[in-house]
Each structure stands twice: as C-alpha cells, then as structure tokens.
Amino acid sequence: MPNYLEPDILARAESLGMKARQVVEGLRVGDHKSPFKGFSVEFVQHREYVPGDDIRHIDWKSYGRSERYTIKQYEQETNFSCHVLLDASNSMRYGSGATNKLEYAKLLAASLAYLVIRQRDTVSLRVFNTRVVTELPQSSQMGHINTITRTLEALEPSEGTNLGPMLDQVAERTGRRGIVVLISDCLEELEPTLAGLRQMRFRGHEVILFHVLHPDEVNFPLDGNIRFVGLEGFEELMTRPHLLRPSYLKIVQKYLADIRRGCDGSGVDYMQLLTDRPLSNALAEYLVRRLQAGRR
C-alpha cells in the first residue's frame, strides 16, 4: 500500500462516508443531491405535461382533481467532485515526525482522496504556496490514488503563502458545483483568506477548511532562552518565551476565534486539527459531525 494510506484511518473513514450536504453538479448518477430534475429518487414538484413526455410519469390523481395533465418531477442524484487544496508553504514545515504539519496534511489529503474515490466520486488535487504549483485533474479511477500519493511523497514545502488570490484563481477555474477542501495552517492575513473562501461559497461550492496547527503554535509551551527562526522570510529572534506567552496567547486566541467566526458567517465548514491528535480519531469525529448535520 502506498505511503499516506493508513488502514486504520481508511477503515474508519469508509465506514462513515462523506456525502455532499448541498446540491452538486456531477456527470453521472451517484449518491448526492443534484440541481437537475428528472424521473428518479425523490419527488420535488409537478410540471405541466407537454407532447412527447412519457405518459408513465403523468400524475393521474392530480388529473382527477384538476383535469389537467401534469408530470411528476423528481430530484436526481449525482456524483460530486471534490477539489483538495493543499498548503505546501514553508510554514507547514513546523514540527517533527508525525507532528510535522505538512506530513499530517499529506496524510489527510490522501485519506480524503481515497474515501471520495472509493464511493465512486471524483477528486482533484492542487498543491499551492504563493500560487498553485502542482495540479492533478479530477478522476474517479482507483489508479488516481497512486498518482496522488506519489505526488505527495515527492512534495517539499517552499516559499510563503498567498491564500486569498490563490482561492480566487481556483474559484474561477472550478466549474461545476462540488466540495472544496482547503488544508492549510492559514498563517497569514485573515481577511483575504476569508474573502477567498466567501468567493468559493458564492460560486455554489460546499467549502471545508481543515485548519492544521502544531500544538506549540496554539499553547506556546516553550521555555528558556530560544532563538526563533522565521520560515517565511522573517528575521531571527532570540528571546525568553515565558515573557511573551501572555501576549502571544491573547493574539492567537483572538485569531482562532476570528477565523472560526468568519467561516461560520460564510457557511464554511471549519475543523481545527492539532497534529498531536491521531488523524484517525480527528477525521472520524469530523465525518460523524457531517452525518449528524445531514440528518437535521
């Protein structure tokens, strides 16, 4: 089995599945709500009969009441397209081993891609820093998983991040309504990022933000004399972290509250992921949350 496909993660995710919460525009019959109406699955409305319509779909009970021929229309189900956007900027280097942000994000991207393809939907992958640097077109073939995992294995972080313009660019190039999954630490100016997410929602996509952070970035447990090295162009700084901790935590807590509030206000599904938590548990929790929301 290729790297980034861990059986325990995949087994738990497959048992829960990932259905679209809103209408999507697919290319074939599948399991998700479509904006197009036909003659299958779930009744939506009547329309007036016109010559050439199949008489099997005439609602004779309605005719008995109104003496007008009407056709029953049903909501079709379709497959969805999932567009995975993976942040490979230098800030994703932080952490070591399993807690490295980029490695955690790669594992998540591969797991989601596998889940989507296993349920016969299509998935694409775009890797970005200040721009889209790698792009794999959407496919529903299992062989596409090998292409995705090989791409992830070869991936190294570089440059900074420019999320807002990048999201605008992807929105313009993504046609049919589907699911857009952004996997990033979002460590840059917040408003351009939220504006880009709003643009995705405006174009009819369901948008999910997996906010990947290292515990150090949230809790700032460092102590002693430490030299901080900027990963995206900032100068080095020698300091004593315990003196900075109160101000740092205040800023970070406000930032986390603002990004969650901005996502909630735009209809973006937000999930914070700390890299010290096993992905199998975190992803299962998210998929259960989706299932529960879908039943309401």
Q: Note the pLDDT tens digit of each residue in 153-188.
A: 999 999 999 999 999 888 888 877 889 999 999 998
Tell me what the mean pLDDT of segment 125-133 comes to: 94
Tell me what the mean pLDDT of segment 125-145 comes to: 93
In this predicted structure, the answer to whether residue 30 has a pLDDT above a threshold of 60 is no
* Position 235 confidence tier, pLDDT thresholds 50, 70, 90: confident
What is the per-residue pLDDT for 28? 45
In this predicted structure, the answer to whether residue 26 has a pLDDT above a threshold of 50 is no
Q: Please give the mean pLDDT across all residues of the chain.
A: 84
Set out the domains of the chain in order of their start, with CATH numbers.
7-23+80-291 (3.40.50.410), 32-78 (no CATH)
What is the per-residue pLDDT for 32? 40
Beta bridge partners of 183: 86, 210
Q: What is the 3-state secondary structure (H, E, C) of the chain?
A: CCCCCCHHHHHHHHHHCCCCCCCCCCCCCCCEEEEEEECCCEEEEEEECCCCCCHHHECHHHHHHHCCCEEEEEEEEECCEEEEEEECCHHHHCCCHHHCHHHHHHHHHHHHHHHHHHCCCEEEEEEECCCEEEEEEEECCCHHHHHHHHHHHHCCCCCCCCHHHHHHHHHHHCCCCCEEEEEECCCCCHHHHHHHHHHHHHCCCEEEEEEEECHHHHHCCCCCCEEECCCCCCCCEEECHHHHHHHHHHHHHHHHHHHHHHHHHHCCEEEEEECCCCHHHHHHHHHHHHHHHHCC
What is the per-residue pLDDT for 72? 65
In this predicted structure, the answer to whether residue 120 has a pLDDT above a threshold of 50 is yes
| Highest mean pLDDT (candidates 17-21, 33-37, 121-125, 169-173) | 121-125
d(CA 150, CA 208): 24
Q: Which two tokens stand for residue 166?
A: 């990048």
What is the per-residue pLDDT for 45? 59
What is the per-residue pLDDT for 34? 42
d(CA 217, CA 253): 11
What is the CA angle 281-286-291, rounded to 5?
A: 125
In this predicted structure, the answer to whether residue 98 has a pLDDT above a threshold of 70 is yes
